[in-house]
């Protein structure tokens, strides 16, 4: 490949350093006269970015600014993000990414991913050669049917893979050029989108049935052939497709579904952290879910596996986990239960959430409904009446869809709740005490899992990796955070936490025969050595 100089170099986002090119580099690379006189360092550029960002009047404007930065200077984008992760993560991912997906067609500037439609059937492998990078290690794919709590956004859902992969880089240390966002654009059931003249996707009703599955098969096969070392993360598929595709590929493909398995590991870690405060054992607890979709069932399944690993039988574990949906408690006499939900069907009379709390006497209440206010004052107070420290997880995103707010959880439990939410809530001041709710964000878990899988070379991702990741995440919560009621580590430590999780995942890969044996020190060294660090030390001209 020819060496870039002059204007083309300034237009290459992976090599551009803008005003940070040194005098010597400007001379050698044909940049004299193309840049202002002053040579900046990266930290000065970061300060300039933050100053411009903080003047923007809205979060979506800040999102656009950060996207534009990523499009022109990748290293500066990730340096800014890594050094200011607490401030910027809500802008590049939840909750702002929800608005960005709704507005995706309107704010579109430059393509950052790979799109496949039914028009590409039979040619997916050929057109993958158009992607400029060959060493792809992490792929995030969506079909846009269930974006956060916003429903079917079709091709607008590309904002999700882009956002997830920015977290793989900033939180997990995967190199940017090793990331590939994929939109499997199979149409949309959203008629308003199809009729929108600005909509950029395949403007047809969603592909269903065998035609849909065969296209997914072709895409997955093509990705494996082109990028044999890549991990594939499924994101924001509908519940039915999410479970069916996970079952279809998980034993043959290096893949996982973040909504099902990543959310499960993150939630299990939250329960482990809560138990550090309460002194309870997971296998002695009873867990109640409001919601019985992909996220809730995925969490329930991993909790059951964790209980079994601690000595319970499958039936004993399932009896301790109840799910309530729009039709009430999921019971054994209900017709048409999906295979993944059936193990949790209880031999109990049907009842609503309040009745289920009274009957089960749960230690933890977990919401995954997408319905704002689904946890009523009555239900939260009922949890507080039977638990000294009731565990309340309101996991639905974005913030407007949370089952309850942090303030409600603390106020209705007299400050005793151990609360976490899918989007961040501000600290709550109540009765002279400050409660700092933790964000149950999958960013705590999937970057570390992906890093561990890619460094170890494991060719599949068994449940034991998610159990180990949950244990490692819970271990990483500082005692001081727990005392303030925060069940997850601070985002400022997210790269260290991801490395810790990756080492645990690598250890499981060895234990399961998916990676050759090596020492703990060697694992730690391999993980640390693989993590991308954005800087300007190299000459990228």
> Does 164 qualify as catalytic in the annotation?
yes
**236 with 160: CB under 8 angstroms?**
yes
Buried-exposed string 38-64: b where 16+ CB fall within 10 A, e elsewhere: eebebeebbeebeeebeeeeeebebbb
d(CA 272, CA 72): 42
| Residue 115 falls in the annotated catalytic set | no
Taking CA atoms, 401 is separated from 26, 72, 408, 416, in Å, by 51, 34, 14, 23
Contact 439, 424 (CB under 8 A): yes
State how far the Cα of 289 lies from the Cα of 287, in Å rounded to an integer.
7
- Helix H or strand E encompassing 418: strand 418-421
Q: What share of the chain is helix, strand, coil (3-state, %, to 5)?
A: 50, 10, 40
Provide the pairing of β-strand 328-329 with 321-325.
antiparallel
Q: Where are the alpha helices (DSSP H) in 227-262?
A: 239-249
The DSSP-derived string for 338-372 is: -TTTGGG-BSS----HHHHHHHH--SEEEE-S--T
Q: Which two structure tokens, joined as six digits, stand for 283?
A: 């296998």
Reading the block at residue 507, the tokens are: 């250890």
Full DSSP string of 48-103: HHHHHHHT-SSHHHHHHHHHHHHHH-HHHHHHHHHHTHHHHHHHHSTTHHHHHHHT
Which DSSP category does 117 fall into?
-
Most distant CA pair in the chain, distance: 80
Rounded to an integer, what distance in angstroms lies between the CA atom of residue 31 and that of residue 521? 45
> Which is catalytic among the residues 17, 62, 164, 226?
164
Peptide bond into 398 cis (omega under 30): yes
> In the numeric block, which tokens belong to residue 418?
């151990």
**228: number of Cβ within 10 Å:** 10
Reading the block at residue 425, the tokens are: 């809530």
Closest CA to 143 of 202, 89, 98, 87: 202
Question: Which of 17, 62, 78, 93 is the catalytic position?
Answer: 93
Q: What amino acid positions are annotated as catalytic residues?
A: 93, 164
């Amino acid at each position: 490949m020819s060496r870039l100089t002059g204007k083309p170099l300034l237009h290459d986002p992976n090599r551009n350093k803008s005003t940070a090119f040194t005098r010597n580099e400007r001379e050698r690379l044909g940049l004299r006269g193309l840049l202002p006189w002053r040579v900046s360092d990266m930290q000065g550029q970061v300060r300039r970015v933050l100053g411009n960002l903080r003047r923007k009047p809205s979060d979506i404007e800040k999102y656009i600014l950060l996207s534009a930065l990523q499009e022109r200077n990748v290293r500066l984008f990730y340096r800014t993000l890594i050094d200011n992760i607490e401030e910027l993560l809500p802008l590049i991912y939840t909750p702002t990414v929800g608005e960005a997906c709704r507005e995706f067609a309107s704010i579109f500037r430059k393509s950052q991913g790979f799109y496949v439609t039914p028009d590409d059937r039979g040619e997916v492998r050929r057109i993958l050669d158009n992607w400029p990078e060959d060493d792809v290690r992490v792929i995030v794919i969506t079909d846009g049917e269930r974006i956060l709590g916003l429903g079917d956004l079709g091709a607008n859902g590309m904002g999700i893979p882009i956002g997830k992969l920015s977290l793989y880089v900033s939180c997990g240390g995967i190199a940017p050029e090793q990331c590939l966002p994929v939109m499997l654009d199979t149409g949309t059931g959203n008629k308003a989108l199809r009729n929108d003249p600005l909509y950029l996707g395949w403007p047809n009703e969603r592909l269903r049935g065998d035609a849909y599955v065969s296209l997914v098969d072709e895409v997955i096969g093509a990705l494996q052939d082109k990028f044999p070392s890549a991990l594939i993360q499924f994101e924001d598929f509908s519940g039915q497709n999410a479970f069916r595709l996970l079952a279809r590929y998980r034993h043959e493909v290096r893949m996982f579904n973040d909504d099902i398995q990543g959310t499960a590991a993150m939630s299990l870690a939250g329960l482990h952290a809560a138990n550090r405060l309460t002194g309870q054992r997971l296998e002695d607890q009873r867990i109640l879910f409001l919601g019985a979709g992909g996220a809730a069932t995925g969490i329930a399944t991993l909790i059951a596996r964790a209980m079994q690993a601690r000595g319970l039988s499958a039936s004993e574990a399932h009896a301790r986990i109840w799910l309530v949906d729009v039709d009430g408690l999921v019971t054994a006499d209900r017709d048409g239960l999906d295979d993944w939900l059936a193990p949790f069907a209880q031999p109990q009379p049907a009842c609503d959430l309040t009745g289920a709390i009274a009957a089960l006497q749960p230690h933890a209440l977990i919401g995954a409904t997408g319905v704002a206010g689904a946890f009523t004052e009555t239900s939260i107070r009922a949890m507080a009446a039977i638990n000294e420290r009731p565990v309340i997880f309101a996991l639905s995103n974005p913030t407007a869809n949370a089952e309850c707010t942090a303030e409600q959880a603390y106020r209705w439990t007299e400050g005793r709740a151990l609360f976490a939410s899918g989007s961040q809530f501000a600290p709550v001041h109540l009765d002279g005490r400050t409660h700092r709710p933790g964000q149950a964000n999958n960013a705590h878990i999937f970057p570390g899992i992906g890093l561990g899988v890619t460094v170890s070379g494991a060719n599949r991702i068994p449940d034991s990796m998610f159990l180990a990741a949950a244990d490692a995440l819970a271990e990483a919560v500082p005692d001081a955070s727990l005392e303030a009621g925060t069940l997850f580590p601070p985002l400022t430590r997210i790269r260290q936490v991801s490395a810790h999780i990756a080492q645990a995942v690598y250890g499981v890969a060895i234990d399961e025969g998916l990676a050759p044996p090596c020492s703990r020190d060697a694992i730690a060294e391999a993980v640390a050595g693989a993590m991308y660090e954005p800087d300007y030390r190299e000459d990228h001209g």
